[in-house]
Amino acid sequence: MPQPSAPRRSPGRPPRISREEVIGTARRIVTEEGVDRLTMRRLAAEIGSTPMALYHHVRNKEELLVLLLDDYAARALRRPEPPADPRERVVAAAAAIHEALAACPWIVEVLTADDLMSVSALWFVEQIVDGLVVCGLSPSGPCTVIARSGTTPRERSWSGRRRPGGARTATA
């Protein structure tokens, strides 16, 4: 029985790529070599495409990093059943966050380097905020607790956005 021939490609035209292939290859690069080694040019070269072809699947590197965060959350994060006691709820959510960050160190690098957040991870933060409010903190209190629990003078401000070049601006 004759074998089907390989699909013909037009000269100069890059092969078709999928969003899943882009995310999978980006995940491999950041896992094996770190976030700083992930560039759109490098990613395109690894896939065997052009950098411009990637922009059909992601707007920019920031969106790609958020997609990587969502991908990790979908594959690895398990939402524990929240305990009824609010203090235990805070501890359980904080422990789940700690386990996730310890298992995948590049996530810490992404979260502390820029103002990126995965929507998939917000459930854990919401459990902490809810538990702290039920324990008696004012609605603004949990934000202060969370901000103080994970920031040092060298880490990012919770109230600023980066400008091109790394400078920060205040946000409302």
Q: How many domains does the chain have?
A: 1
Contacts of residue 39, defined as CB under 8 A and 6 or more positions apart, other chains included, come to: 61
Q: How many CB atoms lie within 10 A of CB 143?
A: 14
pLDDT averaged over every residue in the chain: 77
User: Does any domain span residue 137?
Assistant: yes
User: Does any domain span residue 24?
Assistant: no
User: Does any domain span residue 91?
Assistant: yes
Backbone φ and ψ for 160, nearest 5 degrees, come out as: -135, 155
User: Does any domain span residue 8?
Assistant: no
Higher per-residue confidence, 159 vs 145: 145
User: Does any domain span residue 44?
Assistant: no
pLDDT value at 60 more than 50: yes
Range of the domain at 90: 78-166
User: Does any domain span residue 10?
Assistant: no
User: Does any domain span residue 38?
Assistant: no
pLDDT band at residue 96 using 50, 70 and 90 as cut-offs: confident
User: Does any domain span residue 142?
Assistant: yes
Min mean pLDDT across 27-41, 46-60, 74-88, 130-144 is at 130-144
With pLDDT > 90 as the criterion, what percentage of the chain qualifies?
33
